């Protein structure tokens, strides 16, 4: 189906180029798609490129479940010099130092920076210090250091070494600052380091090969076919198990009411455990995300996509 739709609903994966901020990309999508309901699921610095996941319409309600998913990056860092921003856009934070580490020592130091870590975000970041963005304090020359946060670095791999340049890949939890990871590596090697390039290749269930360039997004929007690239909510796994709601429960679900075991078409192994779960219609549409209460007796909807007027469309005619 082509042409502009009344309400965009779903996820659009774009390949952010170097230069614009993540907010700039959101603003462009709002203009091209003619909707204010656009949000992203994880900021990329202006210098960084790659996967930026945009949620449109009611799918913005699902962003909380996508934001916390793991990310994968490929990039390069330069040993021998740390900068105040921890990347190549900053000023030297000290004199340049000789690089004496071997590839084997670099790999070993990377492995030491994996697992659950307490990481201090960069001063030039969007983190808040006493209610003020850290980068505003840094640019004004005022004191203020973001508090350390716990992150998980699943893998931090060396892909190649060319002089002082190190190519790497990292898979990490949401909220990990790869700039900080590069600086920590440089400190561990005793020579300092800063990030020179970064590309996000995976964000949760979304991959770079599925992403649209901004130019291509503009072309498809002008042709009225960008809607065909939207991933509908039914295509989102969200890292959660799923159950199917019976027709009898749709009205209650549309109004945010509890669901009981008798309202489900199927049972889920482990449903007795508390946790989040996707609630689907018989045709596989994502209706809501709910929370299973302890004991598994009921499911409380936390995010509802189904509107009351839509329940009659989804409900099947009763059998004679």
Q: Global pTM?
A: 0.87
Tokens of 105: 């020592």
Examine domains 71-203 and 240-314 and report if their fold is the same: no
The domains of the chain are located at 10-68+205-234, 71-203, 240-314
- pLDDT for 21: 92
Right CATH for 10-68+205-234 from 3.40.309.10, 3.30.2350.10, 3.50.40.10, 3.40.50.300: 3.30.2350.10
Q: What CATH architecture applies to the domain 240-314?
A: Roll (2.30)
Identify the pLDDT of residue 200. Answer: 98
Q: Please identify every residue annotated as catalytic.
A: 45
Are residues 109 and 101 in contact, defined by beta-carbon separation less than 8 angstroms? yes
Q: Where are the beta strands (DSSP E) in the chain?
A: 10-16, 38-40, 49-56, 71-79, 115-119, 128-129, 132-133, 149-162, 165-172, 193-203, 206-207, 212-213, 242-244, 259-260, 275-280, 286-292, 298-304
Intervals of the chain under pLDDT 50:
1-4, 312-320
Domain 71-203 CATH superfamily: Pseudouridine synthase (3.30.2350.10)
Q: Contact at 8 Å (CB) between 80 and 96? A: yes
pLDDT at 186: 96
């Amino acid at each position: 189906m082509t042409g502009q739709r009344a309400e965009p609903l779903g996820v659009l994966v774009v390949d952010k180029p170097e230069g614009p901020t993540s907010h700039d990309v959101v603003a462009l999508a709002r203009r091209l798609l003619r909707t204010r309901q656009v949000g992203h699921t994880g900021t990329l610095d202006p210098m960084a490129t790659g996967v930026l996941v945009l949620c449109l319409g009611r799918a913005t309600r699902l962003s909380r479940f996508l934001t916390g998913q793991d990310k994968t990056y490929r990039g390069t860092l330069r040993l021998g010099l740390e900068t105040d921003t921890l990347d190549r856009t900053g000023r030297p934070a000290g004199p340049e130092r000789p690089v004496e580490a071997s590839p084997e020592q670099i790999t070993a130091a990377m492995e030491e920076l994996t697992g659950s870590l307490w990481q201090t975000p960069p001063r030039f970041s969007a983190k808040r210090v006493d209610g003020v963005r850290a980068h505003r304090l840094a640019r004004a020359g005022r004191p203020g250091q973001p508090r350390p946060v716990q992150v998980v670095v699943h893998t931090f791999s060396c892909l190649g070494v060319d002089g002082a340049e190190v190519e790497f890949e990292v898979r990490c939890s949401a909220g990990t600052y790869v700039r900080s990871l590069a600086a920590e590596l440089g400190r561990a090697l005793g020579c300092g380091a800063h990030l020179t390039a970064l590309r996000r290749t995976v964000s949760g269930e979304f991959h770079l090969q599925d992403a649209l360039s901004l130019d291509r997004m503009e072309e498809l929007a002008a042709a009225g076919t960008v809607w065909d690239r939207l991933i509908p909510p039914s295509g989102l796994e969200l890292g959660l198990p799923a159950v199917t709601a019976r027709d009898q429960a749709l009205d209650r679900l549309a109004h945010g009411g509890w669901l009981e075991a008798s309202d489900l078409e199927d049972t889920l192994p482990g449903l007795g455990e508390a946790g989040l779960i996707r609630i689907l219609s018989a045709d596989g549409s994502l209706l809501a995300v709910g929370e299973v209460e302890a004991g598994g007796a009921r499911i409380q909807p936390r995010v509802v996509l189904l509107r009351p007027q839509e329940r009659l469309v989804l409900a099947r005619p009763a059998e004679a």
